[in-house]
């Protein structure tokens, strides 16, 4: 199923509409700015509805393997990410207080138009680590140097750094 470029959020809620499919990572320009490569695709699912309290929502699910640059080794690696979030659709910021605790707010414009691909992209950007580090990487020995030696109790005393000044003063 192709994902529409824009939908009327309130009509989607009334119709309890669902979308599933895949999107190329390259189609998400803001996300691509944070990645090492725009290769791959995102499997997604969007489910619009209304809960038992009458709150309009969209459930967002997305899975992808995203290429990031490890900040430890400066090499690219694939990070598998999975998103599962419920977004409460609100018209005004003041409505945020009425959302349940497990529901994140999504402010819908006055015209009710929502870009589903942007919603998926936003959620993927939120799960990216601030500082990506490949869990399989380690710092090279030439960067860290040799391991420090253990100091025994009697070696624990170091020379006074001002001893040189004392000798100069004499």
What confidence tens digit (pLDDT) does each residue in 127-168 have? 999 999 998 877 666 666 666 565 455 555 667 777 777 777
pLDDT for position 140: 62
Task: For residue 167, tell me if it sits in a domain.
Answer: no
Task: For residue 158, tell me if it sits in a domain.
Answer: no
pTM: 0.78
- Strands across the sheet containing 18-24: 18-24, 41-50, 56-69, 76-90, 104-107
d(CA 66, CA 132): 11
Identify the domain containing residue 101 by its residue range.
7-138
Counted domains in the chain: 1
Pick the closest to residue 82 from 67, 114, 101, 60 (CA basis): 60
In the numeric block, the tokens 């999504």 are attached to: 106
pLDDT for position 82: 96
Task: For residue 132, tell me if it sits in a domain.
Answer: yes
Task: For residue 83, tell me if it sits in a domain.
Answer: yes
pLDDT at 30 over 70: yes
Task: For residue 1, tell me if it sits in a domain.
Answer: no
d(CA 88, CA 112): 14
Is residue 66 a contact partner of residue 128, using CB atoms and an 8 Å limit?
yes
């Amino acid at each position: 199923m192709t994902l529409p470029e824009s939908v009327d959020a309130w009509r989607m809620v009334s119709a309890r509409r669902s979308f599933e499919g895949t999107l190329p990572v390259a189609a998400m320009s803001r996300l691509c700015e944070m990645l090492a490569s725009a290769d791959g695709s995102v499997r997604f699912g969007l489910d619009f509805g209304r809960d038992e309290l009458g709150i309009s929502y969209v459930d967002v699910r997305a899975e992808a393997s995203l290429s990031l640059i490890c900040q430890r080794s400066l090499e690219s690696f694939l990070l598998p990410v999975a998103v599962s979030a419920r977004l409460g659709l609100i018209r005004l910021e003041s409505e945020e207080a009425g959302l349940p605790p497990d529901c994140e707010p999504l402010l819908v414009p006055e015209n009710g138009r929502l870009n589903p691909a942007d919603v998926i992209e936003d959620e993927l950007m939120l799960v990216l680590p601030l500082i990506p580090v490949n869990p399989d990487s380690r710092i090279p020995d030439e960067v860290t140097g040799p391991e420090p030696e253990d100091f025994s109790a009697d070696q624990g005393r170091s020379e006074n750094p001002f001893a040189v000044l004392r000798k100069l003063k004499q």
